Amino acid sequence: MAVDQETFVQLKDAISRFVRERLVPNEDRIENEDDIPAEILREMREIGLYGLSIPEEYGGIGLSMSQEAEIVFELGQTSLAFRSAVGTNIGIGSQGIVIDGTEEQKKYWLPKLAEGMTASFALTEPEVGSDAASVKTVAVRDGDDYLITGTKRYITNAVRAGVFTVMARSEPDKKGADGISSFIVPADTPGITLGKIDKKMGQRGTKTCDVIFDKCRVPASSIIGGKPGMGFRTAMKVLDRGRLHISALSCGMAERLIRDALAYAADRKQFGAPIVSFQLVQAMLADSRTEAMAAWALVRDSARKFDAREPTSMEAACCKLFATEMVGRVADRAVQIHGGAGYMAEYKVERFYRDVRLLRIYEGTTQIQQIVIARNMLKQLQG
């Protein structure tokens, strides 16, 4: 799956222009209102951002992973809240259906998601985070249906969702990963209630909250792929791609931070000269530039391998580990270069510094990536 290069250049141009002209000028508004105005969400739908990774035959654009990485890099040029609004549709919310869904599920759901119905991914629970296989939410068989009961936590876009993909334990006799199924649950299904919106350190405008399922009735046909007990495997496949996505996003964000820091350093004068002329400032800029380029090279190489269907579990984890830690350091230096101004909300780097902190945590913490990488190394050692 990929778009031909000539068309892709046009797609990328269209998106980078949209980001520059419509999203960047609205960043402060998102921060102040802690929400994305309906008209901007509508424009994002119209331009087609929700369907980026959905295959063309189901109404999407059908980008390859390499192409998705380049587009997400562009989305990284502005507040992460915008990316987050479409992120669940591009990634974790839709990809389960794209990768493992039945033909019927794809035909029914994917065109809706491509058009902009928000898909939300419900895995995390109050007691289930990194240990994703210990999901406590249950799906109890009742005739041809299942009744889902449990609480999901920090669910991104739950308030905007038209549909959830929910990980629930459907096989009570199987412990751990094999007992989990992935259900497609329309958001208007009776028995779903939303908790209050979470207050977060950053990424204002991104909406997360608890989603509580109380004997929520869904047909057995809503299990992704139609086969129970495969949910965890589906989730892991989705996360592989998701990690490359988050890595590309980190690289885009780093680019914006470096640009802002460089512009400030060229403008700000101390000791009678622009601070960019001082070598200690130059060192911070050079370190950021180097690390950002290294991360981007790693992401592009791994995305290419993903597209060539080479195994990329370890590569994706390496990317997520390096790129998200990198953007943390780049953001920290950007604030440092800004000096006192960098601590003020008036300057964008203050906000981005808070925004990027989450990148090292969600879709697998840095520590989980380290474990994934080391496990893969051991596997290679043992042949």
Q: Which of 68, 125, 350, 363 is catalytic?
A: 363
User: Do 368 and 327 contact (CB within 8 A), yes or no?
Assistant: no
Q: Is 363 a catalytic residue?
A: yes
When binding is defined by CB under 8 A, the residue of 49, 161, 209, 235 that contacts other proteins is 49
Minimum separation from the CB atom of position 105 to other proteins (A): 22
> Using CB under 8 A, which residues numbered 86 to 145 contact other proteins?
none
Q: What is the dihedral of CA 342, 346, 350, 354, to 10 degrees?
A: 160
Task: State which residue, 46 or 301, has the beta carbon closest to other proteins.
Answer: 46
Residues 250, 268: Cα–Cα separation, whole Å: 26
Residue found by looking up tokens 């060192």 in the block: 283
Closest to 232 measured CA to CA, from 185, 176, 184: 176
Task: State which residue, 20 or 227, has the beta carbon closest to other proteins.
Answer: 20
**Dihedral sign for Cα atoms in the order 275, 278, 284, 288:** positive
Q: Does 56 bind other proteins (CB under 8 A)?
A: yes
Task: State which residue, 9 or 344, has the beta carbon closest to other proteins.
Answer: 9
Minimum separation from the CB atom of position 143 to other proteins (A): 40
Q: Does 51 bind other proteins (CB under 8 A)?
A: yes
Q: Does 85 bind other proteins (CB under 8 A)?
A: no
Count of residues that interact with other proteins, criterion CB under 8 A: 24
> Using CB under 8 A, which residues numbered 2 to 21 contact other proteins?
3-4, 6-7, 9-11, 13-15, 17-18, 20
Task: State which residue, 50 or 164, has the beta carbon closest to other proteins.
Answer: 50
**Dihedral sign for Cα atoms in the order 158, 99, 371, 328:** negative
Task: State which residue, 47 or 236, has the beta carbon closest to other proteins.
Answer: 47
Instruction: Please tell me whether residue 250 adopts helix, strand or coil conformation.
Output: helix
Query: How many Cβ atoms from other residues are within 10 Å of residue 2's Cβ?
Result: 13
Q: Does 46 bind other proteins (CB under 8 A)?
A: yes
CA distances 325 to 38, 214, 279, 295, 296, Å, are: 33, 38, 24, 10, 13
Instruction: Please tell me whether residue 103 adopts helix, strand or coil conformation.
Output: helix
Residues noted as catalytic: 363
Residues that bind other proteins (CB under 8 A): 3-4, 6-7, 9-11, 13-15, 17-18, 20, 22, 43, 46-49, 51-52, 56, 59, 61
